[in-house]
A and B are shown apart, each in its own frame.
Chain A
Amino acid sequence: MTTLSLRGKDGSSSAVTHELAAGKRRHKVREALTGYLFVLPATLATILFGLWPVVAGFYESIKSGSPITNKYVGLSNYVRSLGSLTYVLLFALSLIFVWMGYRAWRDGRQHQQEHGGNLWVYVLPGLLFGAGLIALAFILVTGVDGYSWFPMLLILIALGGYYTADAIQPGRAARDGQQVAVLWLILAGLALIWTGGPRLNDALGLGAVGWLLLLAVFGALLYLLLLRLARMSTGRYVTVSLLMGLYILLTLLLALYTTDQLQANVAEAQKIAALVFNQRVSEGVVAVPDDSTRISGLEFESGAVMVEVTVKGRTIQAPLAPDAYGELSVDRIARLEAAFVNNQKVRVILPDGTVGEGQLTGIAQGEKLFVPFVTEGARAVRQVAIYSALDVGEAVVRTEGYTEPLSRQMTAALGIFLGLAAVLTMTHTRRQVDDEEQPRLYRWLHLGRVLMAVVIALLFFYLVGALQLNQQTAAGLGSLTQEQFVRAYEFATGSTPHPTIRPEVLKAQLLYWPQVFSIAVGALLIGAAYLVWQSAQRRETPLGFGLTILLAVLMMVGGWLLVGELPRTLSLGGRETQEAMDALNRTAMYSIGTVPVQLGLGLFLAYLLFSEISIGKSLYRVIYFMPYIAPSVATSTVFLVIFRLDATALANRVLGIFGLEPLTWLKEPAGIVRIFYQQVLGGDPLHIPESLAGPSLALTTVILYNIWVFAGYNSVVFLAGLGAIPGELYEAAEVDGAGRWSRFRNITLPLLSPTTFFLSMLSIIGTFKAFSHIYVLRGQATGKEIDTMSVHIFQALYAANDPGYAAALAFSLFGVILILTLVQNRLAREQVFYG
């Protein structure tokens, strides 16, 4: 992170150098002022139209965004585009914030070790400052009126805190204490003016001029304060603590917000599931009759056993037993329960020996339900519970509607993670404790570890059970048709469900948490597997090494299996998620199809241009660069015409030269591998599986366009890179007898890697941002074959007028770009050779 570079160096200046230092400082201040003045216009424009929109855009993405009902909808726009992946990603993001906060702290601690001072006293002001900034952003974005004093107050207190912290640093003179007091006074004055300004003005009768003067005085004071802050000897701590504060708060806010959203979403589904399934119909006692009695409630009706059930004062004829139970005679009616739970085939044998078989229709299930069997002359033997029988139609769901509250489960999950952290800490501490000197502590640590492991195991089993319940209920909901669901819902609540409440939606919602959990655990397992794999190198014995590797592999496989939930998760997300994923897929395909070819071609051309030509070099360069310079709307219009679908289009005529059939280019959704297989090899295109079909021909056309446009640009940049390689290297290699290829392979490529890295990053980001040419070219496409993410987002905004959803999609794309950049940077650290 950056540090405030202007720092007072006048710690121990003598009287003679003091004046010099003061002059220097004055000069520095003037210099700094000029600098600020110079960057001001650009900064204003960038902040207003480049950075601020990121904050405002996030706010936009959590609103419905339609002009009429622009209300807050939480994360649902994200869930629409990413399904439950949203929650996983947001939790991951808060973990990243933790990591960044940790890095800031490490940074500060290192500084502390090198330069002395106390970091901790800065943490509180840092937190306050961070809170102030976040509150300020929140108020600015949401336009809440009347709370502007709050962030200002926080920031002022934080400023005061910084000065106090600076003053109590070791080695401070007492004079500083007075300064701090004065400072607090100024801050208090500022706060007073800020909050009570107009009233103060009236009371003092200052008038406009006096008021302005007062403001000017305090403004100047504040300015001096800020300058002084920049010169503070511990400026590093200010930055570090501010970052820490920001990260900690962002982590907390994000984690809480995500949890809250997840909970809100799941809780609704849980509630409805409970309503639908867990209907306590009525309580009663099942009297198991002796052989001579008859159960009047049970009767056969065209193969079905009907039960008369009183539900909330309403008596319904519910057919009992759909797919039946094992063998059941009425005196063993207690087995009904198990039968319903396990969905067994059941026969009912009535006391008179008749065997009831057939479909038990209309029994939905839920919580325990006591059905009063009206029997004649029976004695009550025991109470039997069966599941609620509701006339929800043909298919009967037999699932517990009950699910554990999410908060409990998440607490358990948190407990597991904290427990793991505790185990790791204890292991780490134990390694440093000498068992000779402190045998007791050594043993206690071991015991603690074991205990903790037991707790973790218990929590884990609880969680698995709870997740199982969740999934059962979800499955139950999933098997209901809309009609059945509505009937059950109506029965339970007496009102019709809102049209957006649909069983498949509820099912998806109920699955959010299991999915989040399994994906998170999978990712963690993979991460842990990586660590274990690395630790294998430290094992001394071959057996230990092998076992560790085996463990790592097992963990890796387990992790992948859990992460493998992902595609299913996304497919649950409904049509919009599917569309977003398709768009993202196309973008990836577009990127993969474009970048390597475009870079390779660029390098090839640059190499040719660089090597051995004397005439026309600049002419070639001009020509190769032309597509890049030409307006993309114009050139893509040309491509639109060249790749028309009629046989007279240029592209088709070129195909004709080679004796190939004309193609429909931009209208063709079939993959290119299939087309090649059919056209050139004459096979049946369906022999090629979908996954190997490659990008659609329509997308390939766009890829061709992109290559045509950017190859020249790449070659010009490569050319500059080639020029920077010292010629002596080639000379030396040539003297050593290296051939052209070997020189290229061993000198050019490695020395060009920074350029290659720069270009590949630019190209990948470019393909993810690409818009106008695709937008022009899609004019001829029939479907969405070439709608990459950018176009998809734009269409959501422009055509569908759904800004909230569009903003959520845009942020998802942003995330993808960020991750790609980070991964690339990481790879570059290992692969790029910077001389």
Chain B
Amino acid sequence: MASTTRTDARSLKVPATAQAAAPFQRLGLHINFFRLFVYIMLTLGAILFVMPFLWMVSTSLQKQGDIVRGKLIPSQQFISITAIDEADLGRTMQDVLDSGDVPSYLADVRTQIEDSPLKRSLTLDGYLRTQRIGYASLRLDIDLPLLNKLFEVHQDYVVVGGAAHYIEAWNESNFSRYFFNSIKVAILTIVGQTMTSILAAYAFARIEFPGSNLLFSIFLATIFIPTMVVLIPNRNMVKNIDEFFSKDFPAKQDAWGITEARQAIAEPLYDALDKVGLENFLGLGSFFTVDGPITWRWMDSWPALVVPFLASTFSIFLLRQFFLQIPEDLWDAARIDGAGHMRFLFTVVVPISKAAIVTTIIFTFIGTWNALEWPLLVTFSDKWRPISYGLYAFTTEAGSDINLLMAASVITLVPVLIIYLIAQRQFTEGIATTGLKG
């Protein structure tokens, strides 16, 4: 009981706390009311904080009717049948039912429901509205025994409960494409930004060069520049680069001898890549295919989404703070061993700064995953549009399909949450040690 008030590491060093708590023990007062209050407040707060998340998941699993009825716990008593027959693609449910050649499983379901003594209402909830049967699911109110039976017979295409909403949301208007676009853009950005940030942060922390302070304060100054200021010129800049690579540059390639050089190098390379199926990796295919000049799309393509974010003042600042805390002795020892800056950085500094680097990576990931205004400006087609755009578009068109919308939100949320929960410890450590000394 001596540890009643001794909870944080700092007071552990000072045993005086334990003595201060002693009178309480002598009185036999074992319940610390303040502590009780703390717990109650913390738990209440936690409930409030976590509520929207729980609510999101719960809603995504509910039937439309239950949401309106105000249920909080999703019922399991409905199934969704996902039609996955190639032949059914492009046909509406009504078509399928009308044509008579109803897929066997649908027919089964129908007969079973009609035979069921309970004969619960068969809702075509959301089904007929969705035009393409291949992506849609039939959601039925159904009784548990029947459900079990159905599940046994048709487990390939019967999905129990709200999981179907996820399948539908995933397939809904290219949402899966947006998802993978975002993943690709995030990976490219993270790789690029982490590299530039580590190098720059190390230079600012460890290398003496003229103007380093000036340069660093210039970097810091960019924090105060609102995004809206740089949005417009950056779009113009990307547009200009795009025009250069798709107009001026192609026109000059013959004159500069690039076409010839390409014929020598690129053709074999292209053949090799073609074999592995990477012939148009990152849209660079025009470099390898020798017919026609090299063009490189920036607008509506990944460079527009990645290149402007290759340097991040925030990451540099965070890493620099961390690198500054690395003892000078390590560097001296490395110098004696004959290591240069590069080796010292990648064999010593980077491994011990994992927490900070993970923090920057998570921040970069979140930033890329969240980006909305910039993709709205520089992408016009689904080819490279990110998930934030997909979800935003979903909010405007989903209408009353709240469960689908929430399922889409959960899909958007999950990758970030997974990464956060895995790297949670390093992350909070990174923030706590570096996010402070502004």
Contact = CB atoms under 8 A, between A and B. Distances in A.
B100 interface: no
A612 B11 CA distance: 11
Contacts of A735: 16, 20
Given A653-B70, A716-B431, A797-B231, A6 B208 contact: yes
B412 interface: yes
Interface in B340-375: 340-341, 362, 366, 369-373
B203 A608 contact: no
B215 interface: yes
Contacts, number: 340
Interface string B231-245: 111101100000000
A46 B395 CA distance: 34
A720 B433 contact: yes
A750 B250 CA distance: 63
A810 B366 contact: no
B209 A42 contact: no
A50 B221 CA distance: 10
Contacts of A6: 208-210
A315 B100 CA distance: 91
A34 B408 CA distance: 47
B229 A810 contact: yes
A771 B388 CA distance: 13
B97 interface: no
A194 B425 CA distance: 57
A731 B20 CA distance: 9
Given A35-B203, A35-B207, A50 B428 contact: no
Contacts of B313: 46, 50
Contact of A637 (B11, B228, B230, B409): B409
Contact of B233 (A56, A230, A734, A775): A56
Contacts of B76: none
A642 interface: yes
A613 B42 contact: yes
Contacts of A641: 56, 59, 402, 405-406
Interface stretch (B30-38, B114-122, B138-146): B30-38
B78 interface: no
B261 interface: no
A772 B307 CA distance: 21
B228 A810 contact: yes
A425 B221 CA distance: 37
Nearest to A49: B308
Contacts of B10: 723, 726-727
Contact of A621 (B215, B421, B428): B428
A51 interface: yes
Contact of B231 (A1, A45, A754, A810): A810
Interface string B313-343: 1001000000000000000000000001100
B416 interface: yes
A38 B233 contact: no
Interface string A36-49: 10110111111011
Contacts of B41: 604, 608
B433 A626 contact: no
Interface string A593-637: 000000000001100111111101010111111110111111101
B196 interface: yes
Contacts of A716: 428, 431-432
Contact of A776 (B8, B341, B392): B392
Contact of A41 (B38, B223, B311): B311
Interface residues of A, number: 115
Contact of A45 (B32, B46, B311): B311
A621 B310 CA distance: 31
B8 A610 contact: yes
B225 interface: yes
A536 to B, nearest CB: 37
A701 B354 CA distance: 38
Contacts of A803: 232
Contacts of B48: 708
B137 interface: no
A33 B203 CA distance: 11
A481 to B, nearest CB: 38
Contact of B227 (A5, A42, A614, A771): A771
Interface in B403-438: 405-406, 408-410, 412-413, 416-417, 420-421, 424-425, 428, 431-433, 435-436, 438
Nearest to B45: A605
Given A60-B236, A717-B432, A633 B391 contact: yes
A638 B58 CA distance: 11
Interface of A: prevailing SS: helix
Contact of B413 (A28, A48, A630): A630
Contacts of B308: 45, 49
B412 A631 contact: yes
Nearest to A230: B210
A806 B232 contact: yes
Interface of B: prevailing SS: helix
A49 B307 contact: yes
B276 interface: no
A32 interface: yes
Interface bracket on B? 35 or more
A624 B17 CA distance: 28
Interface stretch (A520-528, A544-552, A812-820): A812-820
A777 to B, nearest CB: 9
Interface in A780-817: 789-790, 793-794, 797-798, 803, 806-807, 809-811, 813-814, 817
B232 A797 contact: yes
B214 A622 contact: no
Interface in A124-175: none
A631 B49 contact: no
Contacts of A765: 223-224
B210 A4 contact: yes
A633 B388 contact: yes
A370 interface: no
B167 interface: no
Interface in B229-272: 229-234, 236-237
Contacts of A43: 200, 215, 219, 311
A52 interface: yes
A622 B362 CA distance: 15
Given A634-B412, A716-B431, A720-B432, A813 B199 contact: no
A54 interface: yes
Q: Which of B14, B307, B311 counts the most chain A CB atoms within 10 A?
A: B311
Contacts of A107: none
Nearest to A41: B196
B222 A46 contact: yes
Interface of A: 1-6, 28, 31-36, 38-39, 41-46, 48-54, 56-57, 60, 230, 604-605, 608-614, 616, 618, 620-627, 629-635, 637-642, 648, 650, 653, 708, 711-712, 716-717, 719-721, 723-724, 726-728, 730-731, 734-735, 740, 754-755, 758, 761-762, 765, 768-769, 771-772, 775-776, 779, 789-790, 793-794, 797-798, 803, 806-807, 809-811, 813-814, 817-818, 821
Instruction: List the 7 shortest-distance A-B pairs measured between CB atoms, nearest first.
Output: A35-B209, A45-B311, A38-B203, A42-B200, A53-B233, A720-B432, A56-B233
8 contacts: A38-B199, A230-B210, A605-B42, A625-B428, A629-B417, A634-B391, A727-B11, A803-B232
Given A53-B230, A638-B55, A734-B20, 17 more contacts: A2-B211, A33-B209, A41-B195, A45-B311, A611-B8, A616-B42, A620-B45, A621-B428, A626-B53, A629-B416, A633-B370, A635-B409, A717-B436, A779-B396, A794-B228, A798-B373, A810-B229
Interface of B: 3, 5, 7-8, 10-11, 13-14, 16-17, 20, 32, 34-35, 38-39, 41-42, 45-46, 48-50, 52-53, 55-56, 59, 67-70, 195-197, 199-200, 202-204, 207-215, 217-219, 221-234, 236-237, 307-311, 313, 316, 340-341, 362, 366, 369-373, 376-377, 387-388, 391-392, 394-396, 402, 405-406, 408-410, 412-413, 416-417, 420-421, 424-425, 428, 431-433, 435-436, 438
